[in-house]
Structure 1
Amino acid sequence: MSGFLDGIRCGDCDCTVDWGERRNAIASVAAGTLSFYRGPDFFTGWWIIIDAAVKYPSEGDFHHAYHTCGVIATVAFLMINAVSNGQVRGDSYSEGCIGQTGARVWLFLGFMLAFGSLIASMWILFEGFVVAGKTVVYPGIAIFFQNAFIFFGGLVFKFGRTEDLWQ
């Protein structure tokens, strides 16, 4: 999956665009559009939940403790992308108190938090809004989409980049 931009041709024209060199920028913009980490581009997930919080400020329609899932997803996003693929493979990280094992444990914990927040947002959507028979379901949908966008943005940012340019 990490080399899908390398073989893209631009139709039948003879223009050769080297997408491989722009791969990190494309992955950063795509991940930023899905989540809320990379400045102005990282907005969709948090923008949805901010809209729901402004539209339904009462505690009865939208319980404010539901923001916890988005915060945990954002922390997981940062944890997943704080560890490079070289550190996980053991290519570029051999010092420190734990080394490669510590990088793998950190990445595993980040993925556990990301999956946990995504599953919790689904549970909040269905248990808190759909099954409960509330007439206002948009806050539950907003919580789910916020966590889904952050989760998929983290995956795109982690696996869409190449580390060859960092060396």
Structure 2
Amino acid sequence: MAGFLDNVRWPEWECIDWSERRNAVASVVAGVLFSAGWWVMIDAAVVYAKPEQLNPAFHTCGVFSTLAFFMINAVSNAQVRGDSYESGCLGRTGARVWLFIGFMLMFGSLIASMWILFGAYVTQNTDVYPGLAVFFQNALIFLSTLIYKFGRTEELWT
């Protein structure tokens, strides 16, 4: 059962050379997802302008997700591996701690957005769209972080 996909041939697209455009495609896709996340939340804030409908404190999850996006992508993979970062505040250990804090902020805000969705909207039998907007904002920012961090190559930067 372990190798049941070993003999499957995936289609190869010779017409598209992804090696030259991988960074650009990953950056554009991550940017579209990031802006779509904020677009959904801004839409919910405009439609549900009263504090009883959408508590202004619920925007905190998106702010922390955005902060975590910048923290995670400020550290390159080479710095975490220790290939190019020998000096600085803490060297490779400092880069790893910074990345760990960024991922903890990202996961914490994603979990908090799920808590807001279910705790403030689903169980209260109110309109659920503001809670979905908070969740989808954080989920889209999380996906854009992963695509931007791990979808790009670093050969062009070194």
TM-score by length of 2: 0.91
Unaligned runs of 5+ in 1: 1-6, 36-42
Summarize the alignment of residues 15-164 of structure 1 with structure 2, pairs less than 5 Å apart. Answer: 15=15, 17-35=16-34, 43-134=35-126, 136-164=127-155
CA distance in 2, matches of 1:94, 1:164: 19
Query: 1:8 Cα deviation (Å)?
Result: 7.3
Separation (CA, whole Å) in 2 of partners of 1:73 and 1:8: 36
Stretches of 4+ moved more than 6 A in 1?
none
Cα–Cα, structure 1 residues 141 and 111, in superposed 2: closer, same or farther, change >3 Å?
Answer: same
Change (3 A) 1:140 1:21: same
- Residues 105-132 of structure 1, C-alpha deviation per residue, up to 9 Å, x if partnerless? 0000000000000000000000000112
Q: Which residue type is aligned with residue 29 of structure 1? A: V
Which residue, out of 12, 16, 19, partners 1:9?
Answer: 12
Q: Which residue matches 1:166? A: 157
Whole-angstrom CA distance in 1 between matches of 2:62 and 2:128: 18
Deviation at 1:21, TM superposition (A): 1.3
